[in-house]
């Protein structure tokens, strides 16, 4: 176990990232309370893994001072730094492989460990039907008392966040940038403020001053799935960021749901080709009717167990929606 300021100190050392920090944490036989004890832990870990270099004392001191400075800056900005050993760290995320050793959060931290969380994901350029359904999904999950997780991107993410907020639900935005940098996309800066005002929060694994990069958006997808009990795909092509989130969801053995488009909404809609693929391969549970949602939510409590056995037979069957099916309360 390591204190947050010591984890941040390690991350500021040259040549040490979250993988090596995780190994150092696992090597701790007791919690270091002073900097020299942390130095001793690094030396101990080095004995088992020579790739973890032991820094000079002066280098460690400088990293420690930089860590304390960042903590002070975060406090002024109302940004909380949560270490993987802290009680407030998302418990679901902690159980996943390659979990961030630190997350930065702004807003209501308690929603990170709420009773149920679901990630709603999809393309930045959805069809009108997909956008409408994303708003509906966000709204309906929130009305069930479920925290909605998404990425604050254009398109599906935006609609999901807005649908949730519309009914006073709590929603979490997982960002691929430091929380002190201007929100991307800029069109969603007002939405970010609304999320916090509504009792939700913004989170990121990236420190102060870090701007978004293409690979950061891929990495944050594992967090969207990781903090959630399940993932609901609204619209996606067979390639792209949403499919990265799908991959993380399946790897983490969490329930995967997918909007099951009626045929009339599949015409000239290449944005749903990924949905069709996932449903045809029976990798996702179809989501269309209230019963579909009920079955999907019921699977949340089985996360971490054999969800394939519990949910696949009766919940992943691929039915085609038709005129007689009731799609929630929308059409």
Q: What is the CATH number of the domain that holds 217?
A: 3.40.50.450
Task: Give the domain extent around 144.
Answer: 109-315
Let me know whether 150 and 295 are in one domain: yes
Residue 248 makes CB contacts below 8 A (sequence gap 6+) with 221, 222, 224, 225, 226
Q: Is residue 178 part of a domain?
A: yes
Q: Is residue 96 part of a domain?
A: no
What DSSP designation does 186 have?
Answer: G
Let me know whether 278 and 216 are in one domain: yes
Let me know whether 119 and 265 are in one domain: yes
Residue of 157, 310, 284 lying closest to 231 (CA atoms):
284
Let me know whether 276 and 148 are in one domain: yes
Q: What are phi and psi of 35, to 5 degrees?
A: -65, -35
CA distances in angstroms from 310 to 71, 206, 277, 313, listed in the order given = 44, 36, 22, 8
Beta strand pairing call for 256-259 and 285-287: parallel
Domain count, the chain: 2
pLDDT, position 314? 42
Q: Is residue 30 part of a domain?
A: yes
pLDDT, position 320? 60
Q: Is residue 236 part of a domain?
A: yes
Q: Is residue 83 part of a domain?
A: no
- Whether residue 232 contacts residue 206, with contact meaning beta carbons closer than 8 Å, is answered with no
Q: Is residue 90 part of a domain?
A: no
pLDDT, position 306? 42
Distance separating alpha carbons of residues 310 and 283, to the nearest angstrom: 14
Let me know whether 23 and 137 are in one domain: no
- Whether residue 126 contacts residue 234, with contact meaning beta carbons closer than 8 Å, is answered with yes
CA distances in angstroms from 53 to 43, 234, 307, listed in the order given = 8, 45, 41
Q: Is residue 323 part of a domain?
A: no
| DSSP string for residues in 78-134 | T-EEEETTSTTS-HHHHTSTT--SEEEEEE-GGGGG-S-EEEEE--SS--HHHHHHH
Half-sphere exposure in the Cβ direction for 225 (13 Å, CA): 31
pLDDT, position 321? 66
Locate 164 and state its tokens.
């949730």
Locate 123 and state its tokens.
């393309």
- Whether residue 267 contacts residue 245, with contact meaning beta carbons closer than 8 Å, is answered with no
Let me know whether 137 and 210 are in one domain: yes
Separate counts of helices (H) and strands (E) for the chain: 13, 9
pLDDT in single tens digits along all 331 residues of the chain: 899 999 999 999 999 999 999 999 999 989 999 999 999 999 999 999 999 999 999 999 999 999 999 999 999 999 999 999 999 999 999 999 999 999 999 999 999 999 999 999 999 999 999 999 999 999 999 999 999 999 999 999 999 999 999 999 999 999 999 999 999 999 999 999 999 999 999 999 999 999 999 999 999 999 999 999 999 999 999 998 899 999 999 999 999 999 999 988 888 788 899 999 999 999 999 999 999 999 999 999 644 444 444 344 444 455 566 544 566 554 4
pLDDT, position 302? 44
Let me know whether 218 and 144 are in one domain: yes
Distance separating alpha carbons of residues 272 and 60, to the nearest angstrom: 51
Instruction: Scan for tokens 């639900």, then name that residue.
Output: 169
Residue of 303, 321, 203 lying closest to 256 (CA atoms):
303
Handedness of CA 265, 275, 285, 116 (dihedral sign): negative
Let me know whether 143 and 65 are in one domain: no
Q: Is 201 exposed, middle or buried (0-12, 13-18, 19+ CB in 10 A)?
A: buried
| DSSP string for residues in 143-209 | HTTPEEEE---TTHHHHHHHHHHHTT--EEEE-SS-TTSPPSSGGGHHHHHHHHHTT-EEEESS-TT
Let me know whether 47 and 117 are in one domain: no
pLDDT, position 326? 62
Q: Is residue 94 part of a domain?
A: no
């Amino acid at each position: 176990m390591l204190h947050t300021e010591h984890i941040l100190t390690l991350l500021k050392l040259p040549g040490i990232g979250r993988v090596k920090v995780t190994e150092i944490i696992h090597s701790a036989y007791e919690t270091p309370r002073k900097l020299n004890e942390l130095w001793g832990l690094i030396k101990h870990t080095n004995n088992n893994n020579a790739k973890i270099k032991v820094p000079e004392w002066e280098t460690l001191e400088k990293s420690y001072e930089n860590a304390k400075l960042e903590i002070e800056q975060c406090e002024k900005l109302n940004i909380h730094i949560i270490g993987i050993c802290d009680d407030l760290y998302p418990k679901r995320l902690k159980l996943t492989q390659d979990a961030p050793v630190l997350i930065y959060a702004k807003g209501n931290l308690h929603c990170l460990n709420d009773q149920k969380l679901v990630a709603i994901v999809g393309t930045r350029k959805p069809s009108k039907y997909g956008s409408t359904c994303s708003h509906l999904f966000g709204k309906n999950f929130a009305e069930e008392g479920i925290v909605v997780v998404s990425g604050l991107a254009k398109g599906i993410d935006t609609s999901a966040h807005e649908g949730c907020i519309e009914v006073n639900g709590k929603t979490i935005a997982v960002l691929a940038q430091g929380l002190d940098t201007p929100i991307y996309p800029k069109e969603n800066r007002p939405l970010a403020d609304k999320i916090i005002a509504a009792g939700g929060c913004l989170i990121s694994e990236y420190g102060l001053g870090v701007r978004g990069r293409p690979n950061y958006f891929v990495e944050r997808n594992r967090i969207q799935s990781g903090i959630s009990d399940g993932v609901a795909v609204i619209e996606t092509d067979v390639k792209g960021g949403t499919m990265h989130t799908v991959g993380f969801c399946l790897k983490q053995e969490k329930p995967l749901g997918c909007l099951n488009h009626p045929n009339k909404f599949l015409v000239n809609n290449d944005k749903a080709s990924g949905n069709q693929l996932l449903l045809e391969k029976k990798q996702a549970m179809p989501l269309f009717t209230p019963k579909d949602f009920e079955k999907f939510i019921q699977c949340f409590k089985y996360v971490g167990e054999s969800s394939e056995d519990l949910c696949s037979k009766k919940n992943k069957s691929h039915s085609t929606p038709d005129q007689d099916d009731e799609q929630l309360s929308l059409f």
